[in-house]
Amino acid sequence: MSRNEAAPGTVTAPPGRVRRTLSHLYVQCLVAVLLGAAVGWLWPSVGAELKPLGDGFIALVKMFIAPVVFCTVVHGIASMGNARAVGRVGLKALVYFEVLTTVAMVIGLVVVNVVKPGSGLHIDLSTLSTKGLPPEATATHEGFAGFLLGIVPDTLVSALTGNEILPVLLVSVLFGFGLHASGEAGLGIAGGIEKFSTVLFTLIRWVMRLAPVGAFGSMAFTIGNYGLGTLRHLALLVGSFWLTALFFVLFVLGTVMRLNGLRLLPFLRYIKEELLIVLGTSSTEPVLPRMMAKLQHAGASKPVVGITLPAGYSFNLDGTAIYMTMGSVFLAQALGIDLSLTQQLTMLAVMLLTSKGAAGVTGSGFIALAATLSAVPHVPVAALALIFGIDRFMSEARALTSLVGNGVATLAVARWEGELDEDRAKAVLRGEIPYAPAPCAATAEPGPKTAPAPALDPVPAAS
């Protein structure tokens, strides 16, 4: 019997089935995450050395984020018939962000007071030191006024070369309004920006082929450097945080989706590739361009996506909000500090400010928590040493929750603004209009009154 002939009674898969399955990005990322975890567990020293793979992938994608946001927002505003709608979208988005962030913090506060993961540890504060903490955690943190001033870039061009999203958004909105008000003079520039975005997404589509490599390196580093053994003593905190984040996604965000006539689980299936990339890299930034394209493909208009999603990366970090309330109260419990309800609510009010502007990168939630502790006298910053070793195991949940939260926020704001094609959105989430690569269709913008058209896909779909 030849090697190509199956033994009698055996069932073999079609030759191309395995190849087709492995061609899906989400399958490649899932395999990469599992392999990375295995390498980090079996060969910790090797896994710890693989960090540059994840960092390099994130850096490759980050260099496209500013120009992608700029092109999307500028072209969207310049092509709008009513410029006032931009301000209305921004206001609705900010109100939504504030409400959902507050809900997330309150849920985290309730859970940590009920579960009490830090009770019984009896940590002596004199044994703690800030020496092992990252420099950002012990640095002097700017106030809210400084945060607002930081949104304004030094020059028009410097916003596109920095690492912050909000300055890019500010410049993009102003530039878009300028083109909109320039009439015929702005049409040529708007058309050039639209064509430039096509080139950008083509490049991103190539870079995203490396997503499994980045996920493999980041996961191998996390397990190899920190080790699963660090979870043993603080497993209650990590477990309760993951479950709280899951509750927020399924029930709170699920309710928001249902109020807008959509369902959460189909949406999670729709963005499964992005979720796995975030799981592997612990960062939401690598998937920002792809999320913008997918939400447009799902029927949300380009201006709403261009304004709401990037703004949400700074103002709507639901996962970080839950982490900050649970982390601060956990540290107080571990040190034997009895926080009154008034003190906890005061910390929550401070967190509503310190959580803003934390970029969706690995470790930003930890830095935001440090900023909170330095702004209130109840818990010393040195206590952060207790959770520094396990922070990485919670960063994935923070990033995943924030990513889903911002996707839901964009669809919700688009529907409230009348800029969501609901029939198309339902068909896309049901899988009837698959998300396929169409780099030449960068101009296609499915909106509430446009016919279904393929959206730009920065990652090639499976063949």
pLDDT of residue 442: 37
Place of tokens 């092509």: 79
CA distance 92 to 199: 32
pLDDT of residue 134: 55
Is the distance from CB of 207 to CB of 60 less than 8 angstroms? yes
Q: Report residue 421 as tokens.
A: 């094609």
Q: Report residue 438 as tokens.
A: 């169409």
Q: For residue 128, which phi and psi values (nearest 5 degrees)?
A: -100, 150
pLDDT of residue 3: 46
pLDDT of residue 405: 94
Q: How many CB atoms are closer than 10 A to CB 42?
A: 12
Q: How many CB atoms are closer than 10 A to CB 267?
A: 22
Q: How many CB atoms are closer than 10 A to CB 380?
A: 15
pLDDT of residue 356: 63
Q: How many CB atoms are closer than 10 A to CB 115?
A: 19
Q: State the DSSP H helix or E strand holding residue 208, giving kind and residue range, or none if neither.
A: none
Q: Which residues of the chain have pLDDT under 70?
A: 1-15, 18, 23, 26, 79-83, 121-148, 226, 228-233, 354-364, 375-376, 389, 437-463
Q: How many CB atoms are closer than 10 A to CB 43?
A: 14
DSSP-derived secondary structure letter, 455: P
Q: Report residue 107 as tokens.
A: 């849920």
- Per DSSP, the three-state class of 420 is strand
CA distance 148 to 304: 22
Q: For residue 403, which phi and psi values (nearest 5 degrees)?
A: -65, -50
Is the distance from CB of 368 to CB of 139 less than 8 angstroms? no
CA distance 319 to 361: 12
Number of helices and strands (H, E) in the chain? 22, 0
Per-residue pLDDT tens digits for 291-321? 988 999 999 988 889 888 888 887 888 888 8
Cα→Cα distances 143→138, 374, 411, 429, Å: 15, 11, 32, 42
Give me the count of residues in the chain.
463
CA distance 62 to 77: 23
Is the distance from CB of 409 to CB of 93 less than 8 angstroms? yes
CA distance 201 to 205: 6
Q: Report residue 328 as tokens.
A: 């601060």
pLDDT of residue 461: 37
pLDDT of residue 188: 78
458, amino acid identity = P
DSSP-derived secondary structure letter, 375: H
Q: Show Cβ contacts of residue 219 under 8 Å, excluding neighbours closer than 6 positions.
A: 32, 33, 36, 37, 40, 54, 280
What angle in degrees, to the nearest 10, is found between the helix axes of 318-334 and 84-115?
30
CA angle 143, 390, 243 (to 5 degrees): 90
Residue 431, by phi and psi: left (phi above 0), alpha (psi -120 to 50) or beta?
A: left
